[in-house]
Structure 1
Amino acid sequence: MTTDLQIDSSGKLRHLITLDGLGHDRISDLLDRAVELRQHFAEAGQRPQLLAGRTIINLFFETSTRTRCSFELAARRLGATVLNFDISRSSTSKGESLEDTVATLEAMQADAFIVRHRENGTPARLAACTRKAAILNAGDGNHAHPTQGLLDALTIRDRHADFSRLKVTICGDIRHSRVARSDIHVLSALGARDIRLCGPKTLLPVASEFPHLRIFEDFDEAISGCDVVIMLRLQRERMVEALIGDEAEYFSRYGLDSTRLGRAADNAMVMHPGPINRGIEIAEDVADGRQSVILDQVANGIPVRMAALSSLLGG
């Protein structure tokens, strides 16, 4: 089990592959640590070198400038040495297995690998074969993106201390979204009262995957009275695959504009993991409006990733 793989015999977090099964207390501890680090950096002139002498390697088999930069900034602010591994020129492009590549780098005293891969299970596969190095999942397939889930939870917690009172709507391509799954896991662990999933039928998960959640095809119904609206990025290949109609049709049914936002609770939070497709998932005035916390999510990514790295590496 992935959860067993993540926790060592002493009960310490060994890897961060998924939020599923981590539980309320462990997730809350990570969020508390992120708040402490965020506060320290806001107040102190000198940065805590918690990871001085440690080496962290970014292994991104999928491009993601935002996530990679966020992890790199987090590691450097804690004093770590960071190597961005060039996949296109690596031995994996010459036929070497990913496990052998990681073993070679670990032999060079790498302490942690941040892994992003299009295939589900790749970070867990690597976690099973490393000797001492920690594995942090920066997104695998449609399986999980745990630090995105944590930063989303922190952004919500900054405004709503009691998750049990929250109604949250997640809208968009949920079937293919690792962000949606990590958000569902973290919101459930923290006790969110009502989590609603919404999207076109072709982009919704099968009901049996999340039997405890309500699933909607009508966004106006799903957003009614909710406290948090999480919009997901729509990949244009879904149109090519004929899973949905064109952009205008999608926006008319599932785009978040000010009129639709008015159906939510007063001052409902608007969230999006980015990058945003303006005018497809979300209207310009809503993305930049007073209820949007999208840039707060980006900012919270750094202390959350600092918390994850320092927790795994004992800093």
Structure 2
Amino acid sequence: MQKNLHHFDKVYREDSPVITPHLLDVDTFSQQDFELTFSIANRMKKIYTVGPKKSSLLKGITIATLFYEPSTRTRISFEAAGKMLSADVINLSVDNSSTRKGESFYDTMLTLQSNNIDLLVIRHNHSGAPYMAAKHLEKTLVINAGDGSHAHPTQALADMFTLAQHMKSLKDKKVLIVGDVAHSRVARSNLLALCTLGAKPIISGPPNLIPWDLFGKQYRVDSNPFNKVSIMPDLDQAIIDADVVMTLRLQSERHSKGLLPSLREYANLWQVTTDRLAKASTNVLLMHPGPMNIGVEISPEVAYSTNSVVQEQVSNSIAIRMAILLLMTNKGRDVNE
């Protein structure tokens, strides 16, 4: 496999910005890149919703998933995406690998490459791990399935694709992200995508769970990709007339002691409830990247309400990951002509 197979922008549009060979975040995506990905994802969605639930587009391609953190949705959807496209999918268990014998992350990457893995899907608890893998791998392409608190590009793509199913455009739409933004890789990648697509993102949550190093007033310069993001810690004010509300799980595994007085206080001030959601726009969309902690960041009535598109996010993640696999192996042309 050639190293530059992910340069799908060159395949379709010679004048578009260069996208790196690996998918590490959505910061390299232009609006055209999002639209192209969504176009292919729409076609992929028909495969598993209409049938026949199988395509031979990735026959002969080998995909490995390597997760250093627990996962249900992301791991399953990548496996389903690969198998529906007839790829050979290998799910590696870190607990049963040589990592437990002291093998370094670097040597694990080289071992996988030596086994002729075409695409490597990595989730890691340390921010930057997929970037290190991408730097040292010459034949294997890397997909970041979540690294620490940094990025989760395919989740952001699935979320934007879900919104595209309900809205013609995100331009000037008020999108509220509420909760533990400081420790959320999903929030960071979603905010990058929202800014690129012209939305008006707002974040709300406890002040000590807002990454002020990214959104502080001193960074309100054109070169900062987050310069369009507004901060409103008071949820009752932030949610007024919101077109989209995305709640986030408290990343307690990444917290140091003393960040929150109690879950009860957090729920009292930042839980999205029916009363609070009523302040948003009439047709507000309720999102959550999962897993949900019902009764903490979101009430059960809201989580399973008619405004909720949470299960659509899950289903759409398969289509998006199918599209990404095709684009990274240069097979996107076959379904987009």
Give deviations 1:134-170, integer Å, cap 9, x for gaps.
1000000111000100010011110011111311000
CA apart distance, 1:39? 2.2
Q: Secondary structure at the match of 1:128?
A: helix
1:93 to 100, 105, 128: 100
Classify 1:223/1:136 alpha carbon distance in 2 versus 1 (closer, same or farther; 3 Å): same
Q: Out of 287, 302, 313, which is 2:303 matched to?
A: 287
Give the drift of 1:49.
1.3
Q: What is the distance in 1 between the residues matched to 2:239 and 2:28?
A: 28
Distance 1:59 1:219, change over 3 A: same
How many pairs are equivalent? 310
CA apart distance, 1:19: 0.3
Residue 307 (structure 1) aligned to one of 316, 323, 337: 323
> 1:290 is aligned with what amino acid?
T
Q: How does 1:144-183 map to 2 (within 5 A)?
A: 144-183=151-190
Gaps of 5+ in 1: none
Q: Secondary structure at the match of 2:159?
A: helix
Of 232, 236, 239, which aligns to 2:248?
A: 232
User: C-alpha distance in 2, partners of 1:105/1:213?
Assistant: 39
Aligned to 2:281: 265
Cα distance in 2 for partners of 1:12, 1:217 equals: 35
Contact persistence 2:244–2:287 (CA under 8 A): yes
Rounded to whole Å, the distance in 1 between the matches of 2:195 and 2:81 is 27
2:208 aligns with: 202
**TM-fit CA distance, 1:13:** 5.3
C-alpha spacing 1:44/1:236, structure 2 compared with 1 (3 Å): closer
Name whichever of 38-47 and 183-192 sits farther off: 38-47
> In the alignment, is the contact (CA less than 8 A) between 1:143 and 1:181 conserved in 2?
yes
Counterpart for residue 252 of structure 1? 268
Q: Percent identity, aligned pairs only?
A: 39
Deviations 1:18-70 (A, max 9, x none): 00132111122111111111124333426221111111111101111221111
Cα drift, residue 239 of structure 1? 7.5
Answering whether residue 288 of structure 2 is matched by residue 241 of structure 1, we say: no
Name the CA shift for 1:7/1:118 in 2 (closer, same or farther; >3 Å).
farther
Take 1:120 and 1:18, find their aligned partners in 2: how far apart are those partners?
12
- 1:202-244: CA deviations, max 9, x gaps? 1011133633311011001111101000000013457872211
1:169 match: secondary structure: strand
When the two structures are superposed, what TM-score results if normalisation uses the length of structure 1?
0.93
Between the aligned partners of 1:205 and 1:132, the Cα distance in structure 2 is 36
- 2: CA distance between counterparts of 1:250 and 1:131? 46
Q: Counterpart of 1:163 in 2: which secondary structure?
A: coil
- Equivalent-residue separation in structure 2 for 1:40 and 1:21 (angstroms): 28
Deviations along 1:106-145, one digit per CA (max 9) or x if unpaired, are: 1221111000001111111101111221100000011100
Q: Residue 310 of structure 1: SS of its match in structure 2?
A: helix
Cα distance change on mapping 1:92 and 1:41 into 2, 3 Å: same
- The residue aligned with 2:141 is 134
Which residue in 2 is equivalent to 1:112? 119
Does residue 22 of structure 1 match 2:29? yes
* 3-state SS of 1:113 partner: strand
Residue of structure 1 equivalent to 2:73: 66
Q: How far is 1:182 from its partner?
A: 0.7
Letter in 1 for 2:201: I
Deviation at 1:89, TM superposition (A): 2.5
What code does the residue aligned with 1:241 have? K
- 1:299 to 1:112, Cα distance in 2 relative to 1, 3 A: same
Give the Cα separation in 1 of the matches to 2:62 and 2:87.
6
Matches of 2:202 and 2:53, distance apart in 1: 43
Q: Cα deviation per residue 1:168-204 (whole Å; 9 max; x = unaligned)?
A: 0000000111000011011111111x11010001101
In structure 1, the partner of 2:91 is 84
Aligned to 2:312: 296
